[in-house]
Amino acid sequence: MGVYKYIRNAWKKPEENLGQIYKNRLIKWRTEPVTVRADRPTRLDKARSLGYKAKQGILIIRQRVLRGGRMRPDIKGGRRSKHSRQNLVLAKNYQRVAEERAVEKYTNCEVLNSYEVGRDGLSFWYEVILIDRDHPQITSDPRYANIAKQHGRVYRGLTSAGKRSRGLLHKGLGSERARPSLRANDRQGN
C-alpha cells in the first residue's frame, strides 16, 4: 500500500485514528482568524486527488464557517409589497460558502477545489485550493491555465461543491430535471 492510502484511511474516522493530534488542531484553529493561509495541505492525499501540486501560484487557504443559523436576513427599511423579501440562497452547502469567502479574501485567485479538514459543534473547517490566475507558472501550465481563465467560477457553481449543491453530480434515472435539455424547453414554448 502506498502512503496516500494510509492517509486516506486515517481521515475516514479522524477522531478515532488521529486522536489527540486532531483535537489539538481544532483547539488551535479556533483561536486563529477565520481565513488563514496554510503552508502545506493538512490532507495531502485529498489535495493531490483534487488537483493540488506544490508549485508557485497554488495556495492553500483554511477557511472556517460557522454551523447553523443560515436564515434569510431581516428586512431593513421600507419596501414595496412585491419586494417584501430578501434573497438568500439556502441551497448552498457549507463547502461552497467556504470557497466563496476564501475568494473574497484573495480576489486575484480562482478556486480549484476544496475539502473538509475538521469540524466541531460550532464550526466547519475547509481547505480551499486557490490558483493565482496571473502567475507565470499557472499560465504556462495548460492544466491550470484553462481553470484560471474561468473568472468567478465559484459564484457560478462550477466547482465540485457548487455542482453538488446544484444537484449536477447525479446521473441516470431521476436526474432528468436537474439539467433540462433544449428540446424540453422547446416543447414548453420557451
pLDDT of residue 186: 46
In a domain, 26, yes or no: yes
In a domain, 120, yes or no: yes
Mark the ranges of the chain whose per-residue pLDDT is less than 50. 182-186, 189-190
In a domain, 79, yes or no: no
CB count within 10 Å of CB 57 equals: 20
Distance in angstroms (rounded) separating the CA atoms of residues 6 and 97: 30
Structure letter (DSSP) for residue 13: S
Looking up residue 30, the CATH number of its domain turns out to be: 3.40.1120.10
In a domain, 83, yes or no: no
In a domain, 82, yes or no: no
Q: How many domains does the chain have?
A: 1
Distance in angstroms (rounded) separating the CA atoms of residues 116 and 103: 17
In a domain, 113, yes or no: yes
Instruction: Name the residue range of residue 143's domain.
Output: 3-69+89-188
pLDDT of residue 68: 83
Rounded to a whole number, what is the distance in angstroms from the first to the last CA of the chain? 55
80-110: per-residue pLDDT in tens?
676 666 666 677 889 999 999 999 999 999 9
CA 170 to chain centre: 18
Q: Where is 19: in which H helix or E strand?
A: none
In a domain, 14, yes or no: yes
pLDDT of residue 171: 81
In a domain, 75, yes or no: no
Place of cell 483547539: 27
